[in-house]
């Protein structure tokens, strides 16, 4: 039986973000999601660059024996190289990066390439299975048995990714081949969905929806109903028999959504406008929400409200940097006009930011929130382990390297007795 792939893509900016750093693509042969990171370092540029390179793979196999994994691996490498070129061209983009989860259809199988924390799921026989592993700090804690999967959903460092496309080489995506059956439904999503909507709810929507278009719309709506603090992007594919109702790939439009579908800075439009349909949901932007709530509390309840707000702020903590060292701050990383809502609480003094792998340096630069001081200290210790493992890795490839030899004499690693 001849099979074909139906597909759809949707995105929404979410309820708190001002812009969309996600990019998504769904075409006859390629499904892909890229979730940009870097904020002012242009996460949206990174996600757009990744999809721009990946969509070149959206074409029939070159020959019958072509390995879709090889094609997809080449496309991911090209995406990483393009991000590197853009960062070199504009120093303001240094540190930008993106997740990348993509699937390539060859007519009978789907090749899967994954790096970061955007997820891929398979719904078969009404049962949902996650077919990617998150490249995140909290997933490593789950793998080590230190926390449960349920704990990971609420962990303050759940957004800390350990692998992304950031223009550095070598890259280490996960690759696999997925055998398919008629009726299989696939979902690729950014963490804007998976962070706020649990797998049971995703399964229910994907199994009950009469079409993947309906499923995509309902998943976006569900994320928005759940608060949607981040951009939300979903790409769905469905394996169906090829017949008159489901023509072979190549006769249908592609979907391009998010940052990759925005006009270029020079005023241009995405490549091949006749074959690209931009179908995002209406944006709901509330970047003012937190400051407005804080101000509202102060104005509405006067001095008593000020006391309550101050007590709440003092119960919050986050990890940032101070003088080149990882530091713990008390409060929240925001300002209300001239008023700073945080103060330096502690500098361990033995964990230089530069000793961390670059992806963690970016996370510390953007700050990592913590619900309390104990959690903040736990995150700092976890970052120290990452720094020490990075230096030990250098020793494994180039002989014994101490923290002094590596240029980090202040770094204290428990394994080395420091």
**Quick check: is 296 in a domain?**
yes
Q: Which of 253, 277, 301 is the last residue of a domain?
A: 277
* 85 pLDDT above the threshold of 60: yes
Kindly report which listed range (81-85, 199-203, 267-271, 392-396) carries the lowest average pLDDT score: 267-271
List of residues 6+ apart from 197 with CB closer than 8 A: 219, 222, 223, 226
- The per-residue pLDDT for 336 is 58
Give residue-wise pLDDT tens across range 389-407: 877 765 544 444 454 545 6
12: nearest Cα among 159, 200, 154, 189: 189
Does residue 160 share a domain with residue 133? yes
109-115 vs 100-105, strand pairing mode: antiparallel
Does residue 367 share a domain with residue 254? no
- The per-residue pLDDT for 244 is 56
- The per-residue pLDDT for 350 is 82
Domain count, the chain: 2
Q: Does residue 37 or residue 408 have the better pLDDT? A: 37
* 305 pLDDT above the threshold of 70: no
Does residue 331 share a domain with residue 239? no
* 292 pLDDT above the threshold of 70: no
Kindly report which listed range (100-114, 127-141, 232-246) carries the lowest average pLDDT score: 232-246
Does residue 108 share a domain with residue 228? yes
**Quick check: is 283 in a domain?**
no
Rounded to an integer, the average pLDDT of 276-287 is 39
Give residue-wise pLDDT tens across range 362-377: 788 878 877 678 788 8
**Quick check: is 156 in a domain?**
yes
Residues 32, 234: Cα–Cα separation, whole Å: 9
**Confidence band, pLDDT 50/70/90 cuts, at residue 34:** very high
Please state at what angle helix 199-208 crosses helix 212-225, rounded to 10 degrees: 150
- The per-residue pLDDT for 215 is 98
**Quick check: is 198 in a domain?**
yes
Q: How many residues does the chain have?
A: 418
Rounded to an integer, the average pLDDT of 21-25 is 97
Residues 172, 163: Cα–Cα separation, whole Å: 8
- The per-residue pLDDT for 255 is 97
Give residue-wise pLDDT tens across range 122-137: 999 999 999 999 999 8
**Quick check: is 188 in a domain?**
yes
Does residue 315 share a domain with residue 265? no
**Quick check: is 355 in a domain?**
yes
The CATH number of the domain where 124 resides is what? 3.60.40.10
Q: Which of 244, 277, 310 is the last residue of a domain?
A: 277
| pTM score of the predicted model | 0.70
Does residue 169 share a domain with residue 266? yes
Residues 55, 21: Cα–Cα separation, whole Å: 18
* 220 pLDDT above the threshold of 80: yes
Q: Identify whether the C-beta of residue 97 lies closer than 8 Å to the C-beta of residue 44.
A: no
- How open is the CA angle 339-345-347, to the nearest 5 degrees? 125
**Quick check: is 284 in a domain?**
no
Q: Which domain holds residue 407?
A: 289-416
Q: Identify whether the C-beta of residue 207 lies closer than 8 Å to the C-beta of residue 126.
A: yes
* 108 pLDDT above the threshold of 90: yes
* 210 pLDDT above the threshold of 60: yes
Does residue 268 share a domain with residue 164? yes
Q: Which of 217, 248, 277 is the last residue of a domain?
A: 277
Does residue 236 share a domain with residue 123? yes
Does residue 217 share a domain with residue 162? yes
Residues 40, 418: Cα–Cα separation, whole Å: 36
Residues 298, 292: Cα–Cα separation, whole Å: 10
353: nearest Cα among 27, 95, 118: 95
Which tokens is 108 given? 């009978």
Does residue 258 share a domain with residue 315? no
Which tokens is 80 given? 């990483």
- The per-residue pLDDT for 158 is 80
**Quick check: is 282 in a domain?**
no
- The per-residue pLDDT for 335 is 62
* 316 pLDDT above the threshold of 90: no
Does residue 85 share a domain with residue 10? yes
Query: What dihedral do alpha carbons 91, 96, 102, 104 form, nearest 10°?
Result: 10
**Confidence band, pLDDT 50/70/90 cuts, at residue 266:** very low
């Amino acid at each position: 039986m001849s099979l074909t792939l139906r597909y759809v893509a949707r995105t929404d900016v979410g309820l708190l973000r001002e812009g969309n750093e996600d990019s998504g693509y769904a075409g006859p042969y390629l499904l892909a999601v890229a979730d940009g990171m870097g904020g002012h370092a242009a996460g949206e540029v990174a996600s757009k660059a990744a999809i721009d390179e990946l969509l070149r793979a959206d074409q029939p196999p070159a020959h019958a024996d072509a390995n879709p994994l090889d094609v997809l691996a080449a496309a991911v490498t090209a995406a990483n190289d393009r991000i590197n070129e853009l960062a070199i061209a504009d120093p303001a983009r240094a540190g930008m990066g993106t997740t990348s989860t993509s699937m390539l259809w060859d007519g009978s199988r789907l090749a899967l390439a994954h790096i970061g924390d955007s997820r891929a799921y398979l719904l078969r026989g009404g049962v949902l299975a996650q077919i990617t592993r998150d490249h995140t700090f909290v997933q490593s804690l789950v793998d080590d048995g230190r926390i449960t999967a349920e704990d990971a959903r609420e962990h303050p460092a759940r957004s800390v990714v350990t692998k992304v496309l950031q223009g550095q080489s070598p890259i280490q995506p996960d690759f696999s081949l997925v055998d398919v059956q008629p009726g299989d439904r696939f979902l690729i999503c950014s963490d804007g969905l998976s962070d706020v909507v649990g797998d049971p709810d995703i399964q229910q929507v994907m199994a009950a929806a009469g079409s993947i278009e309906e499923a995509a719309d309902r998943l976006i709506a569900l994320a928005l109903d759940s608060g949607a603090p981040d951009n939300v992007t979903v790409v769905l594919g469905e394996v169906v028999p090829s017949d008159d109702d489901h023509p072979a790939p190549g006769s249908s439009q592609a979907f391009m959504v998010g940052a990759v579908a925005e006009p270029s800075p020079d005023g241009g439009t995405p490549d091949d406008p006749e074959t690209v349909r931009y179908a995002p949901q209406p944006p709901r932007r509330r970047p003012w929400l937190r400051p407005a709530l804080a101000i509202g509390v102060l104005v509405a309840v006067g001095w008593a409200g000020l006391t309550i707000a101050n007590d709440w702020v003092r119960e919050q903590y986050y990890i940032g940097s101070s003088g080149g060292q990882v530091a713990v701050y008390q409060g929240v990383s925001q300002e209300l006009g001239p008023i700073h809502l945080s103060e330096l609480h502690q500098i361990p003094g033995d964990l230089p930011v530069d000793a961390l792998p670059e992806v963690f340096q970016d996370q510390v630069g953007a700050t990592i929130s913590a619900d309390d001081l104990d959690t903040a200290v736990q995150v700092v210790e976890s970052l120290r382990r990452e720094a020490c493992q990075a230096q030990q890795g250098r020793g494994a490839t180039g002989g014994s390297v101490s923290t002094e030899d590596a240029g980090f004499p202040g770094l204290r690693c428990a394994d080395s007795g420091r």
